[in-house]
Amino acid sequence: MLNKNHNNHAHLLLIIVLVILLTLVSTATLAAQDSPDEPNEPLKVYTSYAEPFVIVEPERLSGFSIDLWKEIALRTELEYEWVVVDNFTDILDNVESGEADVGMSVLVITAEREEVMDFSIPFFVSGLRVMSIKDPIRPFSNIFSAIFSLDVLKLLIVFFGLIMVAANVIWFFERQTNDNHFPKGYLAGIWEAIWWAAVTVTTVGYGDKVPLGKVGRVLALFWMVTGLFLVANLTAGVTAHITVMELQGHEKRLQDMARSTVVTIADTAAEEFLIQRGIKYITAENLEEAHQMLKDDRAAGVVLNAPLLTYYAQQHGNDDLEVMGETFEEQYTAIALPQNSPYREIINQALLTIFEDGTFDEIYLKWFGEEVEW
């Protein structure tokens, strides 16, 4: 009887222990599903050179994307180490294989990439633009063309017509009492009056010809004020015509490029765009190589992410490059992660707080010199 009770107690104790163990295992499993495990090693954050997003210097990384990730890591208390690779392809390949825990550069979300990896919420919205070698002749030809355009000629006719009216009026009132500056003879007097009217309307006068009579001085004041509007309208007319010609020139060159060969960086969203549109292109490893291809006439233009082109043209163009046209093919840049990454949610939460508290605006202003417009 004692043995039987002892066995029952032993069985009961065993059942209780098993229930406790199962409960502990279930609780641990649920906790693991709710939040990522603490990594045994620092996260491997893969990146590559892409000014101004990533700038690689000896023993130092800087740039917009670098500062943004540092802020994310600070808020999530994630330990990490940088792994610098040669290009975007290396980043994406390592994220897809799981070798990289995070891909941080200027990686654009595409349908093809989304099939093999995950992305955070977008942190940058931009698009594509075209960079080409400047035409050193066009600005001078545009100015020459503007001067002799029909619209500007009409403005010039009105401008010189008003100068003649002002010259005749000032000569009529000044010829009797101011013979030294405005001679009584019409031909001699009107020439001096035209000179006075022209220099007064454009430079507020040299002081070599001045009206002395009360009526003449009142007319001079009126002419000076009128001249401000005349010169402003003439300048605006010439500028507007030159701007239109610039836009037409850009449009024509963009159309010419569509029939020529352009260059882009391999394995970028820009390359996917060119493939989809059937545009003939060649690839370069980086923008320095693409720039050289433009110089060698191997390509008519570079098609790539707009901020990359703008920054490169400003920093490395030596005034021989221009970024043409408007931004097209809107793109969304995000952080790349392996599929089903346990860090996606906490990274997204950190990004949202960075957007909301103004930290993102500060980082953007630091690297792009302007406020966020999107």
User: 3-state DSSP: the chain helix, strand, coil percent, rounded to 5?
Assistant: 55, 20, 25
For residues 124 and 227, is the Cβ–Cβ distance under 8 A?
Answer: no
Q: Identify the weakest region by mean pLDDT among 21-25, 26-30, 149-153, 226-230.
A: 26-30
Sign of CA dihedral 67, 70, 76, 82: positive
Which residue is it, tokens 């029909």? 150
Give yes or no for residue 247 having a pLDDT over 90.
Answer: no
pLDDT, residue 64, reads: 96
- Lowest pLDDT segment from 45-49, 100-104, 150-154, 255-259: 255-259
> 321-337 and 102-108: which strand pairing?
antiparallel
Number of residues written out for the chain: 374
Q: What is the mean pLDDT of residues 68-88?
A: 95
Domains and CATH numbers, the chain: 38-125+332-368 (3.40.190.10), 140-242 (1.10.287.70), 251-330 (3.40.190.10)
pLDDT tens, residue by residue, 308-336:
999 999 888 777 888 887 888 889 999 99
Alpha carbon 2 to its chain centroid, in Å, reads 87
pLDDT of 218 reads: 79
As a whole number, the mean pLDDT across the chain is: 79
Which residue has tokens 């390949």?
A: 93
Q: How far apart are CA 171 and CA 207, in angstroms?
A: 16
> Which residues of 247-300 form beta strands (DSSP E)?
262-265, 281-284
Q: Out of 29-38, 96-105, 177-186, 316-325, which region has the weakest mean confidence (pLDDT)?
A: 29-38
Distance set, CA 371 to CA 10, 342, 361, 364, 365 (Å): 73, 33, 7, 7, 6
Q: How far is Cα 75 from Cα 349, in angstroms, rounded to an integer?
A: 10
**pLDDT for 180 beyond 60:** yes
- Phi–psi pair at 291, nearest 5 degrees: -60, -45
3 state DSSP class of 179:
coil
- Residues 5-53 have pLDDT tens digits of 445 455 545 555 454 544 444 444 434 444 455 556 899 999 999 999 9
Distance CA 247, CA 101 (A): 45
Instruction: Give Cα 109 distance to the centre of its chain.
Output: 18
d(CA 298, CA 318): 20
Confidence tier at 227 by pLDDT (50, 70, 90): low
Q: What pLDDT is recorded for position 336?
A: 97
Task: Indicate the residue type of 45.
Answer: V
User: Would you give the DSSP letter of residue 54?
Assistant: B
